[in-house]
Each structure stands twice: as structure tokens, then as C-alpha cells.
A = this chain, B = another copy of it.
Amino acid sequence: MSERRGRSGGRAARQAARAARLADDVPFLTRRLAPFEILAEEGLELIEHNADTILEEIGIEVTDHPTALRLFAGAGADVDGTRVRFPRGLVRSIITATTPSVYTQHARNPARSVEIGGASTVFAPAYGSPFVRDAEGGRRYATIADFRNFVKLAYASPAIHHSGGTVCEPVDEPVTTRHLDMIDAHIRYSDKPFMGSVTAGSRAEDTVEMARIAFGGDLAGRTVITSLINASSPLTWDGTMLAAAEVYARHQQASIFTPFILAGAMAPVTPAAVCTQVLAESMVGIAFSQLVNPGAPAVLGAFVSTIDMQSGAPTFGTPETALVMYAVAALARRLDVPFRTGGHLCASKVADAQAAYESAAVMQPTMLAGTNFVLHAAGWLEGGLTMGYEKFVLDADQLGAYAKIADGLDLSENGQGMSAFRENEPGVHFLGTQHTLENFEAAFWKSSLADANSYEQWAEEGSKDANTRATARWQSMLAQYEQPPLDDAIAAELADYVARRKADLPESEY
């Protein structure tokens, strides 16, 4: 019997080892660990009730988008100028009727397609920084070369599942055509899924057209773009963002409807009130997408941080933010829609202990909350103003650990490891036991950037801190980067589309 147990343990261990070797290559995480719930049912109901009270009594401003006003009125909302008030329960019923609880975002390499919603978690790079920073060049305006570098780094990072969107603002390209270069870079330098332009309806149309080319001319109803649609909190949806969302919904592409909140400024200072506002605002965004095209994929988003009440400066990694993330994740589960929050956020200007402490204080609850789509999972510095090369690889390294967290505690016979105790005398180390040998490869996540060597060895190797090691890492990743295959005809058609649109569009001021 013990022999049979041994063999069975051995097989399980070999499977675990294979799984571990492959873990870095999975296109997204599948959580077996249940999310951390910080509120009981009645607490969540209270917040839902309050969100409905806001939608009914105060309503939402919808500016510069007559179609949205018409759609909301048609669905039963009370539209008074640009103010839209919703009878209690209306928004929820629109959402739950048709919003998918999970959807597949197809990548041009099918092995990279991701599921967004349910038990899945997808990591994407930071988004929107006008500046970049690296240890040698310091802080400077981002360029399209930087943009392409970060697309390449995300492609080369096994724990990053998604190419992201505006990984940095290529400010050397004209505002009117910048989106073309960004989408082109995502398609050309990566085969992971990506995000689309949201700065105008026409740019969303360009995104869809370029995606169509990348996917061989026909999307065939597939969702291949997930884009970031921000509310103008408090309680306002702006016409520009809604125009982009409308284009995406019409084409069956996904939008993440995200209140962008620094609590104290764009929302009240108390976390429960922040949860209420996030729910009210994001629900209206999702409902809009369903009115445009019932069944279009939509994500409930929550970008939430805080401010320093003395200076007004944005602060990150604060405990209040963590509490909001846990609660809003639970509210999204009750709506049965995918949820986005968090990332490795910080206020720090450099990739130092402050950056890591703040980032971890956002990322840990992001993961434990059961978040489905994690934007800003790597690179974020300085409240999002700067995309850091060193920060990017340090964050990406940390993301690898979350695959093991997502797995939860293995209670299989191999996991219980009773054979190890039976084999080993008290006082004897387990390094040589059969159970250890069988589980050797799968045992323990190992950072690829942390230094666990002795002090003496570390000193001999130059006493390099994490930031210094990170510089070497991103440089070697870029040096070793190999472009994923792209059909020549598709590449040519893409280039032609970009050239044609650039000729059509006026060059704006930079």
C-alpha cells in the first residue's frame, strides 16, 4: 500500500512539476483560491441600496452624447437635460439581462487569448504615462520608441498576459495619429491581446479596423479588443469616452467602465461611500454598453486611490484603497460581471522601497479580491505620470508569485506529504527525501530578480541593489527580444492602413 501511495505521489508530483514549468506560460491565471470577502451579505446590500439611491435621487450627468440620453430615456430613465435619473433597480436589470459574466478576448496568437471574468485573472502593463524613466536616462518624455520597448518587454514577460493599451504616451507622435502607431506596435511587436484607443469615436473605429486586418480581415463576431472607458467622477460620463465605448460595443468589443477616483477629491473620504459611488458610476457605463448592443462584453472597473488631505497630492497603497477594492470586487461578483481594479500603483518617483511597499499594498488586495483584469500590473511610477523600465521588470517578476497564490493550498495526497514524514527521522533534513525529489521542480516560486545569496557572494558581485539588477534585466530582455511572426500580407496591409489614415488626418500640435 505504501508503494502504491509512493507511485501515486510520484505521478502527482511529476504532474505538479510539469504544471510549474508551464505556469509561466499560461495565457492567464485561473484562481482556485476563493476571494477574500470583507463584507457580509447585508453590508453589500446596503451599498447596493445606496448606489440605487444615488442613481434615483441625484442621477448621473451625461455630457455631449445625445445618443446615450436617448437610449437611457428609452430604457425608462428620467432624462432632464443632461441629468439622467434611474428608477431603483433599472440599471441593474439592464446589466444582468445581457452582460456576459465572462468573455474571451482573442489574441492574434490563439495560445495567448485570455478569459476575462469568473475565476480568471489577467495582468496588463501600466497605462497612460507621459513620461518614462530608466536608471541611466532618468525621467524624460515618452516616445514611440519607448512605447515599442514596453510592448516588447510585456511580450517577453511570461507573467504578463496582455499587451495593454497606452503603455506610455508617445508624445513625439502627433495627437491625431498617435493611436495608429500605438495599435500598430501592439499588433507588430506582440501577439498578446491589447487595448484600443478611446480618445475619440473615430480612433476607436481605427482600432477596430486595424484589429480586423490583424485577424485576417474578418473578426467573425470575436472580441479582440478590451478598452478603458473612464468616468469623469463624480457622477459624470463624458461624451468622448462614451463615443469610443459605443463604437466598441457596436462591434462586440469590450470596454472597462472605470470611475477614476482619488477619494477625498472625486469621491467622499469614507471608503463605504467610495464603493457606493464606484458601483453607481460603473453600472451606468455598463448599462450604456448593453443598450448599444445587448451582450457586448463589459467590465466593472474601479480605479481608486486616495489623496493627502493636507497637500492634495495623490497617495497610493493606502489601507482605505484596499478595503474599497475588496468590497467592490464582491459587488461586481453579485452583478455577475468581470471586475477590474488595482495594479502595482505607487507615488514614488523611483523603484525604491517606497515604490515596492506601495505597489504591494495595492497588488496584494487586487489579487485576493479576485480581480479579473489587472491594468497597471507593471511599470507604474509617480502616480501614473511615469512608466519605469526598472519598475516594469521588478513588478513583472512579482506577478509570477501570484500564480501560486491563485492555486491555493494543495490538499492532494502529494500535497499532504505524509510519505515524507514516514520516510524521514526527526532531526533529519528533508532535502534528500523521495517526496522532495519528486516535487523538486514544482517547489516554491522563485523570483528571477531577487538576490537570495549570502552577503559575501552579493558583495563580491558588486553589492547590486534591486534597481541595479533590474536595469541589466530590461536591457538584456530588449537585446534578446524576438518579434513574433506576422503574416507579410497582414503587415503590409497594416502599414498601408496607417499610412493612408495619417495622410487623411490633420497633423495636430504635439
A466 contacts B268, CB within 8 Å?
Answer: no
B interface footprint on A487-499 (CB within 8 Å = 1, 0 otherwise): 0000000000000
Restricting to A276-303, which residues have a CB under 8 Å from any CB of B? 276-277
CA distance A435 to B458 in the complex (A): 53
A271-B361 contact given A313-B452, A440-B309, A444-B307, CB 8 Å threshold: no
Asked if B323 contacts A445 (CB within 8 A), the reply is no
Question: Which residues of B lie under 8 Å from residue A430 when comparing CB positions?
Answer: 234, 264-269
Chain A 244-281 per-residue mask, 1 if CB under 8 angstroms from chain B, else 0:
00000000000000000001111111111101110000
| Residues of chain A at interface, number, CB under 8 A | 128
Q: A436 an interface residue at 8 Å Cβ cutoff? A: yes
Which of A9-61 touch B at CB < 8 Å?
A: 33-34, 36, 38-39, 43, 46-47, 50, 53-54, 57-61
Q: Which of A232, A324, A357 has the most CB of B within 10 A?
A: A357
Binds B, one of A103-111, A161-169, A180-188, A347-355: A347-355
Does the CB pair B353–A405 fall under 8 Å?
A: no
Q: In whole angstroms, what is the CA distance A334 to B326 when docked?
A: 25
Chain B residue numbers with a CB within 8 Å of A236 are 426-427
* A272 touches which of B409, B427, B458 (Cβ 8 Å): B409
Shortest CB distance A265–B (Å): 5
Q: Is the CB of B398 within 8 A of A357?
A: yes
The complex places the Cα of A313 from the Cα of B444 at a distance, in Å, of 12
Q: CB < 8 Å: which of B268, B309, B349, B422 contacts A58?
A: B422
List chain B residues, Cβ under 8 A from A270: 410, 414-417, 435, 439, 443
Q: Is A46 a contact partner of B411 (Cβ separation < 8 A)?
A: yes
Number of copies: 2
For A312, list chain B residues within 8 Å (CB).
431
* SS class, residues of chain A in contact with chain B: mixed
Contacts of A8 in B (CB 8 A): none
Q: In the bound complex, do residue B348 and residue A268 qualify as a contact, i.e. CB atoms below 8 Å apart?
A: no
Query: Max chain B CB contacts within 10 Å: which of A139, A319, A358?
Result: A319
Q: Is A211 an interface residue (CB 8 A)?
A: no
Identity of the chain B residue whose Cβ is nearest the Cβ of A351 in the assembled complex: B353
User: CB-CB < 8 A to A36: which residues of B?
Assistant: 36, 368
Chain B residues closer than 8 Å to A234, beta-carbon distance: 421, 424, 426-430
Q: Taking A356-B360, A385-B455 as contacts, is the C-beta distance between A422 and B38 under 8 angstroms?
A: no
The residues of A with any CB-CB pair to B shorter than 8 Å are: 33-34, 36, 38-39, 43, 46-47, 50, 53-54, 57-61, 83, 139, 232, 234-236, 263-273, 275-277, 306-320, 322-324, 326-327, 347-361, 364-365, 368, 382-383, 385-386, 394, 398, 401-405, 408-411, 414-418, 420-422, 424, 426-431, 433, 435-436, 439-440, 443-447, 449-455, 458-459, 463, 465-467, 470
13 A-B contact pairs sorted by A residue (CB < 8 Å): A36-B36, A50-B418, A53-B418, A61-B427, A234-B421, A270-B435, A273-B416, A314-B452, A315-B450, A323-B408, A348-B450, A349-B455, A356-B357
A-B contacts besides A320-B443, A347-B452, 11 pairs, CB < 8 Å: A235-B426, A269-B439, A269-B443, A277-B421, A315-B450, A320-B444, A348-B450, A352-B466, A353-B356, A353-B465, A382-B455
